[in-house]
Structure 1
Amino acid sequence: MTQIDMAGIVSTRRAEIDARLAVLLPRAVDGQDGLDLAIRDAVLAPGKRLRPLLCAFVAEDLGGAPAPAIDAGCAVEMVHAASLILDDLPCMDDASLRRGRPATHVGHGEDVAMLAAIAILSGSFEVLAGIGAASAEARLRSVAILSRAVGTAGLVGGQFADLKGGARARPVAEIARANALKTASLFLAAVDMGAVMAGADEMARERLTAFAAELGEAFQLLDDLLDGTESAFLIGKDVGKDREKSTIVSMIGHAGVERRIERHRDSALRILEELLGPRSRLSLLVASIFERRPAAVDASGADERLEQGAGAR
């Protein structure tokens, strides 16, 4: 499979995902147009659709049908959209920009934003329950997987750790655990539900769980690097929101984080090669995610010394 083929596949799948999201998102009752608009703005705002792409490509690489996996991936994307609404609230990160547009609470008010987040979150489970092309067992497993990813062992736990522990100095290992809860949890859910929709065995699901953990850590580190850029326009959201938090970037520097990203990426790709072969859709997608990264800005060997010191704590 060539890179040109992959670009076409990604484009096609992303268009299918966007079309399904427009169909599957929850609708407000008649007369509540303000709520309806907030839901649509949050879910359908332009995005990479990485989580549903992962779900669909896992299923396809394992020999499953893409349609039920796309719907399952849309459920994950809806949870992601709801989490961004909540993450941007003044009581959380107090961000004003998201995906190049005003954050939901800025554009629609805090009250409507919170209601929209609840509607989107509950709607995601309705989507999973209604995937007619999947077996009852696959639907039940998927509901359990996504519930775990949202709760105290996932997004909620990660956000709490970030809010309550982010302002103090933390060991790198503790920050990485919070990242795994806050970011890797939805990658894990997307990948595992794709495997479930394809009827994968437990061994394959375990290997894909390990892959998702590596990918989630690499992706969060990349996001932390981007937060240090100068332009919100470049990444479509407020920058500098992590400056008062203890992040792995602040602990070991840009060059150290670049090395960590490469290690996690390479580990993720090795797992995929062992399980799916060297040129799976999933491996090509992962490689493309990390093609462009901000250049390291720290000079000399200071970053390396920081990394060694932080790792010893």
Structure 2
Amino acid sequence: MRALATPPRDDLTPALLGARIDARLADLLPRPADHRDLVAMAMREGALAGGKRTRPQMMLIAGRELGCDTPALLDLGCAIEMVHTASLVLDDMPCMDNAELRRGRPTLHRSFGEDVAALAAVGLLSQAFATVAALGEVAPAVRTQLVGVLACAVGPQGLVRGQCLDLRGAGADGVDEIVDTNALKTGALFAAALEMTALLAEADEATRKALGRAALELGQAFQLQDDLHDRHDSASTGKDSGKDVGKSTLLAVLGIGEVRNRLQAHLRNASDALASVYGEDGLLDAYCQRLFGVH
């Protein structure tokens, strides 16, 4: 399988893609009606306060390489970013990781209070689904599929279950169980991002499956990289360090060397899956390799 078209590469740099995503996010998020509209303020603070925009950037690159360059793809990427931001807001709450720093800034519950932060997370999730449902240029049947994919990624078979297992599984999980938790906590949203891209691009079943395999491998790699970064100081990561102490992570069970080996293996597997779709010099694989510092 190969891409449907050879896209121009000069407008697919992370800087330009990030600027497009940030601008569209700012348009899609509700603006505060007045100084009392704390939820809208918090939603915008959480979503627009920086971030790599990794998932929407991957979607824009993956879609372009499949010959899909509709404005709907950008909106889908923004919806995914809203869900990702909501998950971070909830993850940081005192009842979960009790974090103080996110993206180099105070966490949302520290800035706005726990009540507003929780409501902002719900607002971001709602806005994400509203964004997908409002894709008027997309056929109704495809919109329904897109909503379903996103709901599965967020719900009790996706992010929600993964986060619960992560919080309540400390010290009790073996390697296989930790891998399964990582697939839910991190891999589910990557899988949804590329599945939605494939649906919008009207990709065939083989392409969808290959992108799904790549997404799950990348999700595992991301979680391992996050585990390794948890050992670094907050100044270099922009978030609290040491939050994984006492949790069941592959780093705690297997050690640094094996985790690094597994991370590289996941990246190789992702590259193989992407090559089956885009060929050996695909833009998406190059983007992922740079993201993980592989040159």
TM-score normalised by the chain length of structure 1: 0.88
- The one-letter code of the counterpart of 1:244 is G
Give the deviation of 1:95 after TM superposition: 0.4
Measured in 1, the distance between the counterparts of 2:286 and 2:213 equals 18
Kindly provide the CA deviation profile for residues 59-104 of structure 1, in whole angstroms up to 9, marking residues without a partner as x: 1111111521111010000001111111100000100100000000
Structure 1 regions of 5+ residues with no counterpart? 293-313
Which residue among 193, 209, 213 is the counterpart of 1:206? 209
Measured in 2, the distance between the counterparts of 1:68 and 1:283 equals 23
Give the deviation of 1:169 after TM superposition: 3.6
Q: In the TM superposition, what are the counterparts of 1:29-68 in structure 2 within 5 Å?
A: 29-30=33-34, 32-68=36-72
State the match for 2:143 in structure 1. Answer: 139
Structure 2 regions of 5+ residues with no counterpart? 1-8
8 Å CA contact 1:100–1:237 kept in 2: the answer is yes
State the match for 2:182 in structure 1. Answer: 179
State the match for 1:308 in structure 2. Answer: none
State the match for 1:240 in structure 2. Answer: 242
8 Å CA contact 1:57–1:194 kept in 2: the answer is no
8 Å CA contact 2:166–2:248 kept in 1: the answer is no
8 Å CA contact 1:45–1:99 kept in 2: the answer is yes
Give the deviation of 1:32 after TM superposition: 3.1
- The 1:7–1:264 alpha-carbon spacing in structure 2 relative to 1, beyond 3 Å, is farther
State the match for 2:289 in structure 1. Answer: 287
8 Å CA contact 2:11–2:17 kept in 1: the answer is no
Measured in 2, the distance between the counterparts of 1:8 and 1:146 equals 25
Q: Secondary structure at the match of 1:220?
A: helix
8 Å CA contact 1:26–1:120 kept in 2: the answer is no
Give the deviation of 1:135 after TM superposition: 2.1
Measured in 2, the distance between the counterparts of 1:268 and 1:26 equals 36
Which residue among 60, 68, 81 is the counterpart of 2:85? 81
Measured in 1, the distance between the counterparts of 2:265 and 2:36 equals 49
TM-score normalised by the chain length of structure 2: 0.93
Greater mean deviation of Cα atoms: 179-188 or 8-17: 8-17
8 Å CA contact 2:91–2:97 kept in 1: the answer is yes
- The one-letter code of the counterpart of 2:86 is A
State the match for 2:117 in structure 1. Answer: 113
Q: Does residue 1:218 correspond to 2:213, yes or no?
A: no
Give the deviation of 1:6 after TM superposition: 6.4
Report the aligned-residue RMSD.
1.6
Give the deviation of 1:207 after TM superposition: 1.1
State the match for 1:305 in structure 2. Answer: none
State the match for 2:194 in structure 1. Answer: 191
